[in-house]
Chain A
Amino acid sequence: MKCQQCDHPAVFHITELESGAVREVHLCEDHARVYLNQSEGDAGPDSLESAEESGKKQPTGGKLVGPLGVAQTADELSRLDQKVCDMCGITFFEFRNQGRLGCPHDYIQFERELEPLIANIHDATQHTGRRPSRTSVADASGSFPKEPLPESTAELSHAIGLRRQMREAIACEDYEKAKENRDLIRTIEERWLART
């Protein structure tokens, strides 16, 4: 299928809902970029966009602004972009630009912002598949719990933030703080990464 504005193949297929009427727009990457940048300024409460690239769904539309599945003004988007992960320090803006998240904790920190994006990619927002059956933490009697322990991810991801602070402390020559952080990291890792 060709782009509606030139001869290149259309790789973005956009469905516009405007006051009850459905309009389909098929564009190549370059024209899609222009189109979505323009319509982002016009986006009002009645218009919803969903963009889908043939053959592969882009998580953020690459460097395009807009396709998060909800109407967005430039202001809202720039506020969103400034959100930072407490652990790895990535900003939402950085994530949108590179298409990759910084650490597991981002799924908690940016949960609300990621939800429409993930819904757009997968048409789902709840995992229904396999779960880790146990962690490597033995209790006092030496046996392993049968249920998955989500705390392992939450606690272990704190180590990411602590390690970042530790490095900053070293850079500032605050070795006292660095040692504190290192000990905290060690406690967490010993708890959750103990060998069987």
Chain B
Amino acid sequence: MKLETLTQSIGEWLRGTGPESDIVMSSRVRLARNVANYPFVSRATDQDRADIERFLRERLATLPIGRGLEYIDVGHLEEVDRQFLVERQLISREHADAQGARSVAIDVLEQVSLMINEEDHLRIQCMHSGLDLRGAWEQIKVVDDQIEKVVPYAFSPRWGYLTACPTNVGTGIRVSVMLHLPALVITRQIDKVFRSLHKISLAVRGLYGEGSQAMGDFYQISNQTTLGKTEEELVEQVGDVVPVLIDYERRAREFLVRETQQNVHDQVSRAYGILRTAQTISAEETMQLLSRVRMGVLLGLIGDVKIADINVLLVRTQSAHLQKLRGAELDVKDRNIERARYLRHYFEGGHSGGHTSAN
């Protein structure tokens, strides 16, 4: 599986088949780990980083999971390919933009990805569709157990797993869910929700875009602390709040349908209309309109589009995906045209019948 294969497939977590996947797009668990015989990445020399990368790669290859992993040398990728991996959520933006030897190992289902030399020597990540933190945690535990048999992690009985940033020390775990909350945004309740989450030590950030204004009403909720609680407690801490948020969002959606049916129907129809006919369209606008249409599908106002289709489009209309699908480098203007072309083609080509295969 090289990048070309990834271009044609879609990630497991996008399939929209997991529990509560109308609101919860995906669940993710990440672990931060370091080896003890080298400095942390930011202090490591180029030689150090090359040594660490080679050591970890060789060790990972000896493991049972190693057989199912595809290695990508991020350090030597073209920028568009690095961007592609970021859009696919397989590597972080930091990993793409950093310097020095770094790589990522990805499993064939795109559920597990292991970044080497991101902020820590090793960042293990597991993503599942819908609300399935427990499943993601169980899977990543297996991976972590296998790796630590052959890689001596930097660990202290007091501080736990030692990480480059003290904000990650201890369990080194980041538990997060990606939520789609358009009704809470429209009914202006989203700020209230953020404040109450912050009070219980959960961090919220917009998935696309900066700060509190999330493009497309997609948000990521995650734990803020990593020390002093067990991994299970932290998985629970995030997991427990999700049903509450789901309930708020569902009620807000019901309210919208009850009180403002005409308005909502009009908004989602217009969004759907633009996506199907625009000749040029920006990434931001696409995100916002897809978010509307996604809500429209869930409210039963749009019948011929599936959630999985929207999930796929959210990724495939991003800039690197567009360029790879097209097989050419495109500047912003051309990308906007290509994006519109791709959307028109997708909606009229019968793909909205639930197909999630490549066009």
Contact = CB atoms under 8 A, between A and B. Distances in A.
Partners in one complex: yes
Interface string A171-188: 000000000000000001
B190 to A, nearest CB: 14
B37 A159 contact: yes
Contacts of B37: 156-157, 159-160, 188-189, 192-193
A115 B35 CA distance: 22
A57 B157 contact: no
Given A152-B36, A156-B37, A54 B198 contact: yes
A136 B146 CA distance: 12
A125 B227 CA distance: 7
B191 to A, nearest CB: 10
Contacts of A99: 165
A100 B165 contact: yes
Contact of A128 (B155, B156, B228): B228
Contact of A103 (B39, B156, B204, B230): B39
Interface stretch (B100-108, B126-134, B167-175, B286-294): B167-175
B228 A126 contact: yes
A56 interface: yes
Interface in B125-169: 144-145, 148-162, 164-167, 169
Interface in B214-271: 224-231
B43 interface: yes
Contacts of B336: none
Contacts of B154: 104, 153, 156-157
A102 B80 CA distance: 31
Interface stretch (A27-35, A74-82, A116-124): A116-124
Interface string A98-134: 1111111001100000100110011111111111111
Contact of A156 (B36, B119, B166, B169): B36
A57 B167 contact: yes
A121 B167 contact: yes
Contacts of A117: 166
A135 B355 CA distance: 47
Nearest to B119: A100
B40 interface: yes
Contact of A157 (B36, B43, B157): B36
B157 A55 contact: no
Interface string B27-65: 000000011111110110100100000010000001000
B203 interface: yes
Contacts of B224: 56-57
B227 A124 contact: yes
B160 A55 contact: no
B99 to A, nearest CB: 15
Interface in B197-217: 198, 203-205
Contacts of B148: 132-134
Given A54-B198, A193-B152, A127 B170 contact: yes
B171 A196 contact: no
Contacts of B162: 104, 107, 153
A90 B39 CA distance: 10
A23 interface: no
A108 B225 CA distance: 21
Given A130-B171, A136-B149, A152-B36, A125 B158 contact: yes
B152 A127 contact: no
A131 B31 CA distance: 13
A134 B203 CA distance: 33
Nearest to A135: B152
Nearest to B62: A195
B227 A104 contact: no
B156 A55 contact: no
- Determine which residue in A108, A153, A156, A196 has the highest number of CB atoms from chain B within 10 A of its CB, and name it: A153
Given A133-B145, A153-B152, A55 B228 contact: no
A14 interface: no
A142 B189 CA distance: 61
B150 A125 contact: no
A124 B144 CA distance: 24
23 contacts: A55-B198, A88-B43, A90-B43, A100-B40, A102-B39, A102-B42, A104-B154, A107-B156, A107-B169, A117-B166, A122-B226, A124-B227, A127-B158, A127-B171, A128-B229, A132-B155, A153-B153, A153-B156, A163-B48, A167-B45, A192-B36, A193-B152, A196-B150
Interface of B: 34-40, 42-43, 45, 48, 55, 62, 119, 144-145, 148-162, 164-167, 169-171, 173, 198, 203-205, 224-231
Q: Would you list the 7 A-B pairs with minimal beta carbon distance, nearest first? A: A124-B228, A127-B160, A156-B36, A104-B154, A122-B227, A156-B37, A102-B43
Given A57-B224, A136-B150, 13 more contacts: A88-B43, A103-B40, A104-B34, A107-B162, A114-B166, A122-B228, A127-B156, A129-B230, A133-B148, A134-B148, A136-B152, A167-B45, A188-B37
